[in-house]
Structure 1
C-alpha cells in the first residue's frame, strides 16, 4: 500500500522529517526564501494527503478542488488569512496553525523593534558606517525614553500579554484594547483596559498585535494617527493590512507621530524603493517576528505533528 504523501511548500531541514520517513512520502519545494509558484503548488497537491503551507501560499477553493485526497493543511504561522477556512471545512479538510510556540519569540522581536525605533539604533549604526561621527553633541541622535512611559497594546492575546510582561520590566504603564476585557491580565500585569480612541490619545508607544479581520483591516488609518501624540511611536508586529500605509507615511512625514517600527507590510516583500524606506524615522524588518532557530524549528515540528495526527485520524494539537 502506497504511503500517504505530504507536500511542504518551502524548503526545511531534512532531519526534521526523519521521525516520519517510514510512514509518509515527502515532496518539498526546493527553495527556502522563494515561494513555490502557484502552478507548481496546484500540481503538487493533486495527490497530497497533507500540506504544510506558508503565509505566502493562497489556500483557496481552486487549490482545494485540485487536491481531492487532501486531509489537512498545516499553516506555518499563527495567522491564517491566506486560507479559505470555510471552503476547507466544507470539503472536510482540517486546518491548523502554530500558536503558543512563537509567542515569546515574537514578543522579543516586538520589544526589540520598539527599543530600536525609540533609541534610533539603526540610524546611529548607519551614522558611523557613513563616517559621519566626527564630534559629540548633547542631543546627538537623541531618541525617546522607554522606561516609565505608557505603552498601548492593541490586541491582548498571547503575544500582547507577552509584550506587556516585557513592558512591566521597564516600569511602563500598560494600557490595552481588546475585543473582550482580560481581567486576569489586568490583575497580573497591572494593565488597564481602554477604548481604542482613549488608548491612541494616551499612549507613548502604540503596539499593534491584532489579528487581521474585517474589523481590524486598516484600523490604523489617518483618523487613528491624528489621535496619537506627536511624540508617539507606532509599532506593528501583527499584519500589514491592519495599517493604511499611505496614511502612515503622511503621518511620519508631517511629524503627526514621531516614528514607526514595522515588521509587516500591506504587500510583502517590500524593497528599498518603498515610501517607508525613504524615511529616517522608520525601522523596517522583513517579517521576522518568530525568526529564531529554536522557534522556527518548533513551529515546523508542530506542523508535522498536526499533519501526522490528522492523517492517523486523531485530533490535531492546534486546530483552527
Structure 2
C-alpha cells in the first residue's frame, strides 16, 4: 500500500501542486467519515496549516501516521504529547516570517514617527489642494 499524505486543511495552491509532483495527496474534506475510517491505514503524513487543531483522537485514528507537518510557525494546536506517545514526529516552519515581522515593525515605527496615517488622510480628503492642515 503506497504512502499517502492526508491534507487536513486548505494550503496554498503552489504548495499543493508541487507536492502532487512527488506524492499522492488526499484532501480530508473530500472523505466521508466512513471513507476516512476505511482509508486511515493509507496515510503516513498529515499536513495541516497552523490554525488547524490535531487532537489525540485524530492521531489515534491514523494508525500508520509517522509525521504531522504543520505549514506554519507554531505547533501549539497539535497534541504533541499524544503524537510523541504514538511515535509520530511533529514538524513546523519556524522563522519563516521573522524577517517580514521585523520589516513590518520598523515600517510601523517610521509611519508613527512621521505621522504617515494622518498625512494619508490629509491627501485623501483633498486638503492639500486647499492648503489647509487638518488631522
**How many angstroms apart in 1 are the aligned matches of 2:18 and 2:107?**
29
- Residue 10 of structure 2 corresponds to residue 10 of structure 1: yes
Residue 16 of structure 1 and its aligned partner are, at CA, apart by 1.8
TM-score normalised per structure 2: 0.70
Q: Which runs of 4+ in 1 moved over 6 A?
A: none
Cα distance per residue 1:230-262 (max 9 Å; x no partner): xxxxxxxxxxxxxxxxxxxxxxxxxxxxxxxxx
* Equivalent residue, structure 1, for 2:60: 65
Cα distance per residue 1:202-242 (max 9 Å; x no partner): xxxxxxxxxxxxxxxxxxxxxxxxxxxxxxxxxxxxxxxxx
- Select which of 52, 75, 78 maps to 2:73: 78
The 1:125/1:17 distance shift into structure 2, 3 A limit, reads same
* Equivalent residue, structure 2, for 1:287: none
For structure 1, the residue ranges without an aligned partner over 5 or more in a row are: 30-35, 142-320
The 1:136/1:111 distance shift into structure 2, 3 A limit, reads same
SS at match of 1:99: coil
- Select which of 44, 49, 53 maps to 1:49: 44
* Equivalent residue, structure 1, for 2:24: 25
The 1:92/1:104 distance shift into structure 2, 3 A limit, reads same
The 1:18/1:26 distance shift into structure 2, 3 A limit, reads closer
For structure 2, the residue ranges without an aligned partner over 5 or more in a row are: none
Cα distance per residue 1:166-191 (max 9 Å; x no partner): xxxxxxxxxxxxxxxxxxxxxxxxxx
| Aligned positions of 1:162-177 closer than 5 A | none
SS at match of 1:100: coil
Query: Whose Rg is larger?
Result: 2
**How many angstroms apart in 2 are the aligned matches of 1:121 and 1:67?**
52
TM-score normalised per structure 1: 0.33
**RMSD after superposition:** 3.0
Residue 82 of structure 1 and its aligned partner are, at CA, apart by 1.1
Residue 109 of structure 1 and its aligned partner are, at CA, apart by 2.6
* Equivalent residue, structure 2, for 1:135: 131
